[in-house]
Structures are given as C-alpha cells and as structure tokens.
C-alpha cells in the first residue's frame, strides 16, 4: 500500500492483477516490483510535497505492518504526454490559489556603472 501523497502516486492496480506473488518464506530471493502510476483523483492536495519527496509504503505481513520511506525523484513524476499538459489558464488559476503569504519575490541590486 502507498499512503496518500501530494502527487497521487499509487499502485497501477491490485496486487493480484500485477503478477505479485506471495512465496513461502525463504523460497526465493527474487525482488518483485510494484508498478506505480499517478492519479490526480488520489492526490492529497491539502498537503504540499516536502523536499526531498518520499513515498510512505506499507507492507503488511503476518508479523505486523511495516512502514518504509522511499525516496522518489521528482523528474519521474512529470508526464510529457501532451494530452495531460496544463493550459496557461489552469496554471494561472493554481498559481493564484497559492496566495501572497506563500510566495516571495527576489530582487537583485542593479549593476553599478
């Protein structure tokens, strides 16, 4: 399970449909990967992402539930699909939602003559 996060990163489907198997203990040392996807409807939009961005992964076993913080590079979350790009109007709407209290301006002194 991947806990809710700012980018909506979640498993691409149920474990059974992804080919994830549950071998008996110590029968294999093979590493299994869980394909992930981003889904805007599952994003935690109230909590901004922290730097460095990490996913909290939970692994449930017969012993307990174990939580892992897994680092995630932001460039892996950027979609280059033109159909998912944000329009200028959408960007402006989200930018305005930030508010003045969450933004700042850097001013640099002019070059002296």
Q: In this predicted model, what pLDDT tens digit does every residue of 8-48 receive, in sequence order?
A: 888 887 766 666 666 666 566 667 777 888 888 888 888 87
Tokens of 84: 């998912």
- Burial 79-96, CB ≥16 within 10 A → b, else e: eeeeeeeeeeeeeeeeee
Task: Assess contact for 24 and 67: CB atoms under 8 A.
Answer: no
pLDDT of residue 17: 63
């Amino acid at each position: 399970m991947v806990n809710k996060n700012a980018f909506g990163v979640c498993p691409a489907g149920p474990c059974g449909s992804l080919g994830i198997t549950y071998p008996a203990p110590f029968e294999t040392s093979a590493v299994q990967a869980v394909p992930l996807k981003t889904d805007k409807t599952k994003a935690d939009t109230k909590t901004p992402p922290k730097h460095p961005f990490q996913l909290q992964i939970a692994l449930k076993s017969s012993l307990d539930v174990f939580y892992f913080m897994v680092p995630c590079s932001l460039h892996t979350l950027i979609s280059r699909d033109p159909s998912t790009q944000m329009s200028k109007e959408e960007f402006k709407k989200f930018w305005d939602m930030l508010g003045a209290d969450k933004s700042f301006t850097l001013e640099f002194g002019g070059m002296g003559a």
